[in-house]
Each structure stands twice: as structure tokens, then as C-alpha cells.
Amino acid sequence: MQFVDLKALHDTLQPALNDTITRIIDTSAFIRGKDVDDFEQNFASLTGAKHCVSCANGTDALYIALRALGAGPGDEVITTAHSWIATSETITQTGAKVVFGDTEDAYFCLDPAEIEAKITPRTKGVVVVHLYGQPAAIDAIKAICDRHGLWLIEDSAQAHLAEADGQQVGRFGDIATFSFYPGKNLGAMGDAGCLITDRDDIAEFATLFARHGGKNNHVMEGICSRMDGLQAAVLNVKMPHLPGWNDARRKVAARYDALLDGVGDLILPAQRPGVRHVYHLYVVRTGDRDALQKHLAAAGVPTVINYPRALPFYSAYDHLGHTPSDFPVAHAHASEILSLPIHPLLSDAEQDQVVDAIKTYFEKEN
């Protein structure tokens, strides 16, 4: 059993992927070109955005977005205490100060009340993460940003096509960023990323900044963050399948919900009312996390901890001097969370193996 079975997924698309990769090699269309242009048009259409700007990876997308909105020295940017470090390190890389907010107990996402509490005269914006494929409380967060004149970036790296109140995430803020790391719901065969926006000024800046400030006419100093032609071509093959893959993930999650209900002390992932979760990850909570993970590994069930610490408690942020009492929810979750196998092709038999192993563990404990 694989935690994410990319080979099985790719096998279903093998002829189209083989033809596409062969074409890229034959034409040497390795950097930018028509496939990248097509990707930007296709992803903009899929998300309903006016502009899509491709780049090398999801981390670069965040950095470019922050620079496009003017984040810099003396500024403060509020973000979640529970995420991958790309969300926060890119804030620091602009020269701005990262200000962490605690998370909601039920949904793992940034608590809107924490944003209100952390705003100062130096606060310029918010980076919200739709974590694990679950939309954050985006309506409330957007309202706070509007009320205080703050810009809003939606880190949608794990939430391709997730919806809140019938609208796709990524369509609420000034900019949304996406990762196409291979294991994502829409994944490349290497690193790739993009940002989407309806604002012409942001799209113009991001396009220039990601490509050395403009080819042969460098109107600014930028960075080199280009999507490879090969990755764009692979994503174009996969993109039409994304809605169906998300539906399959939801079915796997619903089956876990039914089979694991009431088992041990497991807390199953709650779905926020009015949203369509895309279950990039299926994350349970238990007070016996480490022992359960060891038991599952012995039973041939792979699991992952996403993420083993809340961000403020990594050495990179020691200078902020935070203690667990500053982020009690995110700190508690870090010792409880466990991601179970989930992908579009996970079979009932494989899922039964996961569930049976979990039930066996809790039966032994009792």
C-alpha cells in the first residue's frame, strides 16, 4: 500500500503522458513556450480567475505574491501557526515580520478571532492557508481584512478546487497561490506552482518579477522562477481529471468517516458547514498518536504527520520567544494528528486494511 500511489495514477494516463513527454523531448520545449502558455490559460479558466502566472514551485508563488503586494521591512503579516514552513518563511524573506495566529480546534485553519487580536498599525496583510484541503473561514477572514484595509493572500497549495459557499477558494483574496508538487491533488512530475488574481497590476508585476524583471528589458530586479515546459504539459494532461479525482477523494473520506466513527478516541476530520473539502489529506487525532503510528507501520499501513510541530516552535522562530500557551490549539494538535492514506485510486480493500489495523490497535488497548 502507498500513502499516495502516484504510479497507479500515472498508469491510468500513460498513453497521453508518454505522447506529451516525447513531444517535449522532440521539440526541446523545456523552458516556457506554448505548453506553459496553455497551462496558464487552462488553469485561469478552471479557477475562474482573470490571470494565472506560472512559476517554479508553490513557495516561489507565495514569495512573488507577497512582493507583488509590497510586503517589506517594517511590515507585519499575520498567518497561521499550523502549516508547512513555506507559508511563513516567505514572509520573513521579504523583510516583513511574521505574526502567527492560533488555529480552530475543529478545522485546523487560522482562527479569525486571532487575526483581530494580532492586528497592529504595522499589519499590512494576512496569509490564510486552506489546510489539508479544508477551506478556512474565508468569509470572516475576508471581512476582517476589508474592515482593516488589509490585503489577503490565500495559500491554496492543498486545496485545488475546494469551495466555500459555492465559490472556489482562491477567489476571495487579492491573490491565491498553488503548488503542483507531485503529491498534490493536481501534481506535476517535479516542482511547479502558480498564482492567480483578477488584478491586472499584480499579474503584470508577478510576470515580470518571476522572469528577472522582464526579458531584455529589465524594468526591475526579479528572480528566476519559471515553470518547465515538461511540467506544464503534464499538468495540462492531468487538469481535466482533477474534478473527478477530488470526487474520488471525497468518497474515500466519507468511507473513512463511516468505518472509523466511534473507534477508540479517534477524532475524525470535521468538514466546515457550507464547504466542499477536497481531502488532500485525511487527518485524524488521537492521544495515542505515536503508538498508533508504530502499530500501523508494523501492519503495513503508511502514515504521515502533517506537521510534527506548530511553526512558532521550530528553531527558526526561537527569536520570537513563543511558548505553548501562545498557541494552545496548534500546539496540542501537533502531538495528536496523523494522516491516513488517501488518494483517488485507494481501493476498498486497502482502506479496509487501514481501518482494520486501527480497530485492532484500539481493541488491544482496551
pLDDT in tens, 244-262: 999 999 999 999 999 999 9
- With a cut of 90, say whether residue 166 has pLDDT above it: yes
Q: Do 129 and 92 sit in the same domain of this protein?
A: yes
CATH of the domain at 147: 3.40.640.10
Q: Do 181 and 59 sit in the same domain of this protein?
A: yes
Q: Do 150 and 100 sit in the same domain of this protein?
A: yes
Q: How far is CA 166 from the centre of its chain?
A: 19
Helix, strand, or coil here: 354?
A: helix
Q: Do 315 and 231 sit in the same domain of this protein?
A: no
- Give the mean model confidence (pLDDT) for residues 122-136: 98
What would the DSSP string read from start to end of 225-276?
Answer: ---BHHHHHHHHHHGGGHHHHHHHHHHHHHHHHHHHTTSTT-BPPP--TTEE
Q: Do 110 and 177 sit in the same domain of this protein?
A: yes
Task: Return the exposure string of 49-62: e unless at least 16 CB atoms fall within 10 Å of the residue's CB, then b.
Answer: bebbbbbbbbbbbb
- Give the mean model confidence (pLDDT) for residues 64-93: 98
Residue at a domain's end among 215, 240, 265: 240
Q: Do 62 and 173 sit in the same domain of this protein?
A: yes
Residue 116: per-residue pLDDT? 96
- Give the mean model confidence (pLDDT) for residues 308-314: 98
Helix, strand, or coil here: 318?
A: helix
Residue 32: per-residue pLDDT? 83
Higher-pLDDT residue of 215 and 61 is: 61
Residue 198: per-residue pLDDT? 98
Q: Which domain holds residue 211?
A: 6-240
Residue 57: per-residue pLDDT? 98
Q: Do 100 and 193 sit in the same domain of this protein?
A: yes
Domain assignment present for 236: yes
Residue at a domain's end among 240, 257, 275: 240
Domain assignment present for 131: yes
- Give the mean model confidence (pLDDT) for residues 95-124: 98
Residue 343: per-residue pLDDT? 98
Residue at a domain's end among 206, 240, 274: 240
Summary mean pLDDT of the chain:
97
Q: Do 29 and 176 sit in the same domain of this protein?
A: yes
pLDDT bracket for residue 97 (50, 70, 90)? very high
Domain assignment present for 17: yes
Q: Do 212 and 302 sit in the same domain of this protein?
A: no
What are the two backbone dihedrals, phi and then psi, of residue 208, each rounded to the nearest 5 degrees? -70, -50
Residue 214: per-residue pLDDT? 86
Q: Do 188 and 43 sit in the same domain of this protein?
A: yes
CB 129 within 8 A of CB 83: yes
- With a cut of 80, say whether residue 140 has pLDDT above it: yes
Domains contained in the chain, number:
2
Domain assignment present for 134: yes
Q: pLDDT digit string (tens) for 3-58?
A: 999 999 999 999 999 999 999 999 998 988 899 999 999 999 999 999 999 999 99
Q: Do 189 and 286 sit in the same domain of this protein?
A: no
Euclidean distance between CA atoms 39 and 319, whole angstroms: 41
Domain assignment present for 278: yes
CATH of the domain at 270: 3.90.1150.10
Cell of 235: 499538468
Domain assignment present for 1: no
Q: Do 211 and 344 sit in the same domain of this protein?
A: no
- Give the mean model confidence (pLDDT) for residues 136-161: 98
